[in-house]
Amino acid sequence: MRGVLNGVMVASFLLAFSQTFAIAGSRSEPTRPNIIILLADDLGYGDLSIYGHPSIETPALDRLAMEGLRWTNFYAGAPVCSPSRGALMTGKLPVRSGLYGIKRIVLWPNAKGGIPASFHTIAEALKGVGYDTAMAGKWHLGDEPDALPTRHGFDYWMGTPYSNDQDWLVARDVNGLLSDFSKNFTPEERTRRESLRDKFQEQFQQAAIHPDQSSDWNVSLVRSYNSSSAYVDEVVERPAKQETLTKRYTEQAISFIKAHASGDRPFFLYVAYNMPHVPTFASEHFKGKSLGGSYGDAVEEIDWSAKEIRHALEEAGLAKSTLLIFASDNGVSSLQVGRGGSAGPLKGHKATTFEGGMRSPGIFWWPGRIKPAVVHGIGSLMDLYATALSLAGVTGVSNDIDSIDLSPVFEGKPSPRGFLEYFSVTGELLGYRNGAWKLSLTDNGRTLSNKAALYNLNEDPSELMDVSQVYPDIVKDLVNEAKKRDAALRRAAPIFDQI
């Protein structure tokens, strides 16, 4: 973050927050719902107890799911974080918005290619119809000042500009490991550098899986808001005390909810946890408590956060006027599989287009409006854009979006989304789903293969039995449908590749 991360300023969040959101007046029920999105980072489909984890305890999220909608076919916007978060913010597939990369699959510190000012985000759309907006947590759509959340519809933001594993201090002392491999090195030099790179990757994985302390990572905690028509961007601390992030994000969310207890103005609150992304940390109260190891500690602290946010809504009398959504930005990291993280019965993991890389827990809670149900229809994180705008009464929404309004499901109707495209981290179409049928065009979940596989996901969510030879007509129909949709899609140049 050039210009923002030059110095460290200890900021008082609550003071500035109360100044920004000083709301007075008598209480009245809003005609439009408040909307809260809780987004975990790299949480697997099977990581909540209600989704089948045998040792991680998540009673608060389980209760929200039992009292609301629990989706069994809810998908991330992409198999990695930056494109997925871009899909949430814009309602567009990453290949349509350009929020993806071929050389760089996520945004890195000091990247030029952040979310463009021309995009109309979910926060901007809601703010345009009278919503107050705030964000706590990981952004990962650019760290230049013009790309920060406050430039894209949020009145207030406090969080990290990118993932908590980026800017690893240890890497700065390892000379030559990240050199440009596109250069024409001699075979001996290439071998040496590849060996060093492998050593670096091994060191990083060990540090990420078994982190000693968060100070090994130089990620900043930033606070940003608009004061008297001027943006204020401050570094609260660097390196961020990652053990405290979930707790501090929760405190911010509760303060924001309390500031709106009068009910005079609807609000949009986006809480994007850094956890359980590697390196995985939890506060002292949760550290070492979960049977699921350090990963379980982080997930159980997120569950605690959901409980506290729900309690704040109920205490403020806002529960019945608030839609609360919980999901993950993509599937479980391969680094966490077998160390607490789980894709449940699903095949694959983060960065793949197998179900384990794309499918996410999906919980919608709105007491008095949503009747408890298990939803087996298809939904996507990207669909929260159209859903939120529809509930808020936003009109004139662009047709150039891929988001679908899921609110009919709240009334017990089937999900209006019947299909889903599976794009690789580099924007290549590797799969297509229509109803129960999934056409898979990849052997490894990352690159295109010369063979098409077919799965009935209702009967075989683990993608174990390829039935393409049994149903060749279905394969043919899905291939033609996928080709037509891909050809009609107006692809944008990859923004993340800008240097």
| Structure confidence by residue, pLDDT tens digits, 295-350 | 999 999 999 999 999 999 999 999 999 999 999 999 999 999 999 999 999 999 99
- So what's the pLDDT on residue 198? 67
Between residues 185 and 389, the one the model is more confident about: 389
Neighbours of 493 (CB within 10 A): 10
In the block, residue with structure tokens 């949009």:
268
- So what's the pLDDT on residue 170? 60
Kindly tell me if the per-residue pLDDT of 289 is higher than 90: yes
- So what's the pLDDT on residue 174? 45
Largest CA distance in the chain: 75
Kindly tell me if the per-residue pLDDT of 8 is higher than 50: no
- So what's the pLDDT on residue 457? 98
Strand partners, 327: 39
Which class for 39: exposed (0-12), middle (13-18), buried (19 or more C-beta within 10 A)? buried
In the block, residue with structure tokens 């540090």:
207
- So what's the pLDDT on residue 183? 56
Mean pLDDT computed over 49-54: 98
- The C-alpha atoms of residue 170 and residue 164 are separated, in whole angstroms, by 14
Kindly report the CA angle at 351 between 348 and 357, in degrees rounded to 5? 40
Strand partners, 429: 423
- So what's the pLDDT on residue 201? 64
Mean pLDDT computed over 41-54: 98
In 3D space, the residue among 368, 330, 370 whose CA is nearest the CA of residue 86 turns out to be 330
- So what's the pLDDT on residue 184? 64
Interhelix angle 59-67/293-315, nearest 10 degrees: 50
Q: Is 391 left (phi over 0), alpha (psi -120 to 50) or beta?
A: alpha
Domain ranges of the chain: 13-19+30-169+217-414, 182-215, 423-497
Kindly tell me if the per-residue pLDDT of 143 is higher than 80: yes
Interhelix angle 13-20/245-259, nearest 10 degrees: 30
Reply yes or no on whether 140 is catalytic.
yes
Lowest model confidence (mean pLDDT) among 67-81, 217-231, 417-431, 440-454: 217-231
Mean pLDDT computed over 349-356: 98
Q: Which CATH architecture has domain 423-497?
A: 2-Layer Sandwich (3.30)
Lowest model confidence (mean pLDDT) among 98-112, 178-192, 302-316: 178-192
Distance of CA 55 to the CA centre of its chain: 24
Active-site residue identified among 53, 81, 152, 349: 81
Kindly tell me if the per-residue pLDDT of 385 is higher than 70: yes
At 265, list the tokens: 């103005």
Percent of the chain with pLDDT over 70: 87
Lowest model confidence (mean pLDDT) among 134-143, 197-206, 448-457: 197-206
At 138, list the tokens: 């990981």
Asked whether 63 and 297 are in contact (CB, 8 A), the reply is no
- The C-alpha atoms of residue 351 and residue 361 are separated, in whole angstroms, by 17
Lowest model confidence (mean pLDDT) among 58-67, 73-82, 102-111: 102-111
- So what's the pLDDT on residue 420? 98
Topology of the domain covering 13-19+30-169+217-414: Alkaline Phosphatase, subunit A (3.40.720)
In 3D space, the residue among 67, 69, 40, 72 whose CA is nearest the CA of residue 56 turns out to be 40
What is the tens place of the pLDDT at every residue in 405-442?
Answer: 999 999 999 999 999 999 999 999 999 999 999 999 99
The kind and range of the H/E element at 35 are strand 34-40
Kindly tell me if the per-residue pLDDT of 189 is higher than 90: no
- So what's the pLDDT on residue 216? 83
Query: Coil, strand or helix: which one is 269?
Result: strand
- So what's the pLDDT on residue 199? 65
User: How would you classify the pairing of strands 429-434 and 419-423?
Assistant: antiparallel
In 3D space, the residue among 246, 267, 364 whose CA is nearest the CA of residue 316 turns out to be 267
- The C-alpha atoms of residue 174 and residue 181 are separated, in whole angstroms, by 16
Please give the span between the terminal C-alpha atoms of the chain, in angstroms, as a whole number.
Answer: 14
- So what's the pLDDT on residue 210? 75
- So what's the pLDDT on residue 6? 44
- So what's the pLDDT on residue 214? 85
Helix (H), strand (E), coil (C) string for 321-372: HEEEEEEECCCCCCCCECCCECCCCCCCCCCCCCHHHHEEEEEEECCCCCCC
Active-site residue identified among 140, 260, 277, 349: 140
In the block, residue with structure tokens 């670096």:
200
Tell me the pTM.
Answer: 0.91
Confidence of residue 222 (pLDDT cuts 50, 70, 90): very high
